[in-house]
Structure formats: structure tokens, C-alpha cells
Amino acid sequence: MADKPGKYATALAAINQPQEQPAGLVLPPKNEPLRGKRSREGWRARQVLLKTESIQRAEDRLKLREDRPNFSDLVQFLLDTWLDTPE
């Protein structure tokens, strides 16, 4: 029996062919993706237990601010302020 090409032979042949690129085509470098605080050096995730009502009230108040800080910015500010006060 003669070898018949399989049903995927054409697709495999197309994949195995080297792709020609037009001369002088240079792709722009990718910009570094935005990284959250979790990925940045100097920040570490911590888990704390807070009352649901307090969190909701704080988030509502943060939404009203023009500079739109997030919840972790608020907690960081409060912690820094507390640490800067004398014992």
C-alpha cells in the first residue's frame, strides 16, 4: 500500500516552512508591563483582619477624593504616621 499523506500533512508542511520576513522590518521593543505593588521591590503583601463596615466606609471616602488613592496607600500612610510618632 502506498504511503498517503495524512490529513494534517499540508498544515505541518506550512508550519515547518521558514517564514520570510520583509527586509528592513524591525518591530518596536515591547514596553515593560505595568507592575503592581506586589511585584515591586520594597513591598510585601500582608494579611490583616479588618471590620467589613470600616473597609466599606474607607473605600467610599477614598472614591470621593480627587487623587484617588487606593486602600493600601491609605493603610501605608496611617502606618507611617503611627511609626513617626514618639513612643
- Whether 71 and 55 have beta carbons less than 8 Å apart is answered as yes
User: Could you tell me the pTM of the whole model?
Assistant: 0.56
- Whether 72 and 58 have beta carbons less than 8 Å apart is answered as no
pLDDT at 24: 62
Q: Which three cell numbers stand for residue 66?
A: 480627587
pLDDT at 77: 92
Query: What gap in Å lies between CA 9 and CA 4, rounded to an integer?
Result: 10
Ordered by start, the domain boundaries in the chain are: 48-87
Query: What gap in Å lies between CA 70 and CA 48, rounded to an integer?
Result: 16
Q: Which three cell numbers stand for residue 33?
A: 508591563
One digit per residue, the tens of pLDDT, for the chain of length 87 reads: 557 777 788 777 777 776 665 566 566 676 777 778 888 888 899 999 999 999 999 999 999 988 888 899 999 999 999 999 998
